[in-house]
Amino acid sequence: MRRNDFLKGFALLIGWPLGISANKVGNDFSENSKTILQVDTIEELKKLSGKICQSCIVNDVNRGGHFTYKRATEKLQNDNGIIFSGADGGYWQRIYSGYVNVKWFDAVGDGKKDDTLALKNAIKYSKLKAFQTTLYLPGGVYLITDAIILDGGLKEVNAPILRGDGARNTVLDFSKSTKSKCVKFGSPESNTHYGGVFGLTIKGNGIQDALTISSSAPYTASFNKFEDLRIYNVKNGIIFEMIRSNTTSCFCNKFKNIQIEKYYGIGLHAQGSYNAYDGFSISQPGGITNVNFPDRNFGANSLALLAQGASDLFNNFQTEDQVKIEGYACSVNNLTIEHILKGASNLGGSAIVVAGQFSVMTNVLLIGFNNDVIKYIGSVFSQNNMLQNWRYIGIIDSKNKILYPIILNKKSSGTAMNIQIQTTYSIDTPELLQNLKDWVFINVSAKNGLMKTTTT
């Protein structure tokens, strides 16, 4: 018998698959001191049996890593990322610590391959663990064609965390998805706690909700964090999906450094209670196309912020669209609203609509709105709010007339402190403050404008 025929026969006898070149890396690495082998791809790994080795290193740049052999009697589940079926009914299990890389599950991130299944498999794996998992998305464009749902899973562990390489580097591209949701936190089957999304862009197609926080009794969505995100070309940016009266179903969630661009409905629809929002830039509202800017959409029916929660905190907001405060005991601090088309007609409603109770709005700058600057809706549910340290820079029409008043009030009580009004011209300026019944104004001043007040 020739030497080559003998070696092939011996390889078949011990279970070594023909056509695979493996290198011996070393000895005494695993507990049973079996030889460590080295292969180039996951497909080669799956052709190995436990008779060959108990430990193997895969050199693939995306899916590679260190794997250990598990017997068939352990009845593991092939998830195409952490565990792979071997050649003899056994399994190869990845050895890792820290983050779980979605590329282990065959995500590519080139903007062409559909990475939906890979991301869903990674999430499914995270739900089977008895501890929280961080799913890492390296820089790239991940084409996603279905809604991504994150929750605590049936084991009731903390919800997974999606972490990218930064909003400008990692993109979840839902532009080809036909679903109404992009990323959804929460399910009717479990609590969704301590999860989050960090450092990535959610790109839609104009008809979707980018990020949804959802809860269904008796479960809650709470203590989650969302930071360093960019949301682009969606119907709604961030919304809460819950029964509004049940404010304790979504509470103590934190949102920080969020950029929302080109939205057609609501940039941020805040509900729940004790949620914190800090560092928001909400721009390019949609809804209509202005003839002066045919390449950009601006909103007649859009809202930058709709606040309907209780005891929520809003800090450091910059918007180009209307803000509506309907919540209870909300705090808004450092808000700038600069209308994108100063003086243009038919571009939405008031800068700010106040329709809640016991809310405080401090350090507010309003620039160039073409409607009533503040609309205060009077009812038993809209009272005892405070406006402090406001500055309004008015706009003019083609005849150099200031167009709109700072207050349109419908018989509701409130206090306004340190209000400053600045207009570009003072020619034939109408009243800047109107209908002030039941309001108390302190330190109200105007520059280059006329003012008529009827404070009590």
- Per-residue pLDDT band for 381 (boundaries 50, 70, 90) equals low
Give me the pLDDT at residue 410, please: 52
Give me the pLDDT at residue 370, please: 56
Do 16 and 86 contact (CB within 8 A), yes or no? no
Give me the pLDDT at residue 405, please: 57
| Tokens found for residue 236 | 């709604």
Domain annotation for the chain: domains and CATH numbers: 3-95 (no CATH), 100-447 (2.160.20.10)
Residue 447 CA: distances (Å) to CA of 78, 394, 420, 422: 72, 10, 8, 5
Highest mean pLDDT among 60-74, 371-385, 398-412: 60-74
pLDDT digits (tens, 9 = 90+) for 171-202: 999 999 999 999 999 887 788 899 999 999 99
**pTM exceeds cut of 0.75:** yes
Average pLDDT over residues 416-441: 57
- Per-residue pLDDT band for 369 (boundaries 50, 70, 90) equals low
Give me the pLDDT at residue 431, please: 55
- Output the 3-class SS for 374-441: EEECCECCEECEEEEEEEEECCECCCCCECCCCEEECCCCEEEEEEEEECCCCCCCCCCECCCCCEEE
Determine what percent of the chain is predicted with pLDDT higher than 90: 47
pLDDT for residue 45 is more than 60: yes
Strand partners, 418: none
pLDDT for residue 432 is more than 70: no
Between 113 and 301, name the one with better pLDDT: 113
94 C-beta neighbours (distance < 10 Å), count: 18
- Per-residue pLDDT band for 368 (boundaries 50, 70, 90) equals low
Between 358 and 274, name the one with better pLDDT: 274
Give me the pLDDT at residue 299, please: 47
| Tokens found for residue 341 | 């088309």
- Per-residue pLDDT band for 426 (boundaries 50, 70, 90) equals very low
Give me the pLDDT at residue 32, please: 41
Give me the pLDDT at residue 437, please: 57
Omega before 430 cis (within 30°)? no
C-alpha–C-alpha distance, residues 180 and 288, integer Å:
21
